[in-house]
Structure 1
Amino acid sequence: MPRPIIIDCDPGHDDAIALILALASPELNVKAVTTCAGNQTPDKTLRNALRILTLLERQDIPVAGGALKPLLRELIIADNVHGETGLDGPSLPDPDFSPQPENAVELMAKIVRASPHPVTIVATGPLTNVALLLAGHGALIAKIDRIVIMGGAVMLGNWTPAAEFNIFVDPEAADRVFKSGIPITMAGLDVTHQAQVMDEDIDRIRQLNNPVAEVVAGLLDFFMLYHRQERWGFQGAPLHDPCTIAWLLAPELFTSIERWVGIETRGEYTQGMTVVDYYQLTGHTPNAEVLMGIDRKGFIDLLVERVARYAV
């Protein structure tokens, strides 16, 4: 049976590619796509989800927009990474269908409540919507199989020296989620920075010569521009969000550790830090499976093989 999932995202180039990967994969049943503010403002991330699903001709999937800002803080966006639209680069269709009348949290609750099987939530943006779901619909927690998160880091941040962007945007939401007791898989920067797509990989995708592959290649061309900055020391561009979907499809591509993860919400220099008890010094029971390594070649091969399925 395909695994039922909800994708809560803030598209975003890598979010878009995560959606494309998920919807090419019969192992997954994408029950809904919900959006949050993050990589761009909430109106743009919602529009971008609709644009990607229009491209993929998946208007059957319900889409809803969520929280307009973090739980307690003002919104920070990453337009320096993702551009003015949030998906700068390739030509994308305008949406040809509308979002659901309910908001993201209500749509997530409806899907989880109605599902005969536990639902996995894949969260590739700030965790505001997920935190609101858990706070407002506590009775549904038992019906959530797992939350797979792109966020955090054992080591260094990418938005501040200590914090990864998604967690930094709404640390209070992340704190609620990590304290929920729901099984969590954390795909943080430690693994996603190893999941780099290189120029030759982009060429390989472009040579698939289908409309979706052209869009993926265009997204990656633009995404590469920011990551070529010398400060990062990257050879390519890290495909953060697709790691969540790849882990669901092929967990054997990853190595992981079970650890306790706490969220710093008050630190002067460490706000948004995921404090990972790597050496198990605290005595706290682990609350997350933390992904640490990836077979980069296997990951890229999986992405290419799935994008090839969009051939006309």
Structure 2
Amino acid sequence: MPYKLLLDCDPGLDDALALLLAHGDPNIELVGITTVGGNVALQNTTRNALQLREYLKFPKVPVSAGAAGPLTRTFRDAAHVHGASGLGNVVLPEATLAVTGIHAVDAIIELITATPGTIHLVATGPLTNIALALEKEPAIARWAASFTIMGGSSTRGNATAAAEFNIWADPEAARIVFDADWRVTMIGLDLTLQAQANSIVIDRMKKLGALADELIVPLSTFYFNPNVPDWDGQAVHDVCAVAYVARPDLFDCRLARVDIETTGEFTTGMTVVDFDSPSPNALVATKLDVSGFWAYVETVYARVAAEHTA
């Protein structure tokens, strides 16, 4: 049976690539998409999700819009990374189908409570929607089959020296989420920076035809960061979180206690990771089987590319 996956996201270059993986893997059933303000404003992340849904041809998957900004702080985006639209230079046809009209928080609660123990929840943006859902119905932490995030780091940050963007964007929400009654699987920067779309990967992607030309390659090559040590290409951060659900064998993980810094002068949004804690609340990914990861991702993308041109 396919894994039933609910994706809370803020598309976003790598969120779009994560959606592509979730849609294309026959071992994943994408049962819902919820959007949050993050990489760009909510109106843009929602528009992008709707356009991707129709472009990639999964129109029956419901899309619900959620929180426009963090619980208590001023909204701060990452348009300098993802472009003003959120999808870099990619321009997709306008969507003809609308959002559900149900708030993302209620959609998350409804999907998880309808079939307890079956929905794998993945969050690839700020954790605002998840925190609000937990506050409204704490039991979803017990009823979700699993909960995986792209966010945090046990070493360095990218929004600041200490904090990764998704946690930094709403640290109060992140604290609620990590303190809830579940074990968070944290796919952080330590892991995702191993998944860089280097020139060899891009050359292989270019052979996938129209889908690669119109979507995959532009999304994978829009941003260049010379300040990242050992830069070899744009990291596909959010793809890793979706890949973990279907292919956990590609990841080495360690139990840890993760606490969120919300008041530090220089460290707000930092994920404080203690691998020696006697009370772990998270499974933290540390090492990726890079060749296996790209073999898996490229196989799925090739499958969608073939259907796209059929």
User: Is the shorter-chain TM-score for this pair beyond 0.5, marking a shared fold?
Assistant: yes
Quick check: 151-160 or 131-140, which moved more? 131-140
SS at match of 1:290: strand
Separation in structure 2 between the aligned mates of residue 239 and residue 39 of structure 1, nearest angstrom: 14
Separation in structure 2 between the aligned mates of residue 230 and residue 10 of structure 1, nearest angstrom: 24
Match of 2:183 in 1: 183
Match of 1:294 in 2: 288
SS at match of 2:237: coil
- Read off the aligned partner of 1:258 and give its amino acid letter: L
The Cα shift of 1:37 comes to 0.5
Deviation digits for residues 124-159 of structure 1, max 9, x if unmatched? 000000000000012333211221000000000011
Deviation digits for residues 218-252 of structure 1, max 9, x if unmatched? 211213xx32x245440111110000111112111
Is the 1:203–1:217 contact (alpha carbons within 8 Å) kept by the matching residues of 2?
no
**Are 1:272 and 2:266 counterparts?**
no
Give me the CA root mean square deviation.
1.4
Is the 2:221–2:233 contact (alpha carbons within 8 Å) kept by the matching residues of 1?
no
The Cα shift of 1:260 comes to 0.6
**Are 1:43 and 2:30 counterparts?**
no
Quick check: 208-217 or 143-152, which moved more? 208-217
**Are 1:111 and 2:111 counterparts?**
yes
**Are 1:16 and 2:16 counterparts?**
yes
Is the 1:196–1:238 contact (alpha carbons within 8 Å) kept by the matching residues of 2?
yes
Question: Aligned in 2, Cα 1:213/1:53: closer, same or farther, shift over 3 Å?
Answer: farther
Is the 1:31–1:61 contact (alpha carbons within 8 Å) kept by the matching residues of 2?
yes
Separation in structure 1 between the aligned mates of residue 204 and residue 74 of structure 2, nearest angstrom: 40
Q: Number of aligned residue pairs: give it.
A: 306
Q: TM-score, normalised by structure 2?
A: 0.95
Deviation digits for residues 46-70 of structure 1, max 9, x if unmatched? 0011111111111100001101110
Is the 1:213–1:308 contact (alpha carbons within 8 Å) kept by the matching residues of 2?
no
SS at match of 2:7: strand
SS at match of 2:145: strand
Match of 1:78 in 2: 78
Name which of 274, 280, 298 aligns with 1:304: 298
Separation in structure 2 between the aligned mates of residue 275 and residue 168 of structure 1, nearest angstrom: 13
SS at match of 1:257: strand
Is the 1:55–1:212 contact (alpha carbons within 8 Å) kept by the matching residues of 2?
no
Q: For residues 145-184 of structure 1, what are the structure 2 equivalents within 5 Å?
A: 145-184=145-184
Is the 2:105–2:133 contact (alpha carbons within 8 Å) kept by the matching residues of 1?
yes
Q: TM-score, normalised by structure 1?
A: 0.95
Separation in structure 2 between the aligned mates of residue 272 and residue 80 of structure 1, nearest angstrom: 19
Question: Aligned in 2, Cα 1:213/1:121: closer, same or farther, shift over 3 Å?
Answer: farther
- Read off the aligned partner of 2:171 and give its amino acid letter: P
The Cα shift of 1:284 comes to 4.2
Separation in structure 1 between the aligned mates of residue 95 and residue 156 of structure 2, nearest angstrom: 37
- Read off the aligned partner of 1:144 and give its amino acid letter: A
Unaligned runs of 5+ in 1: none
Q: Percent identity among equivalent residues?
A: 40
Unaligned runs of 5+ in 2: none
Match of 1:131 in 2: 131
Quick check: 50-59 or 206-215, which moved more? 206-215
Separation in structure 1 between the aligned mates of residue 58 and residue 118 of structure 2, nearest angstrom: 23
Match of 2:220 in 1: 220
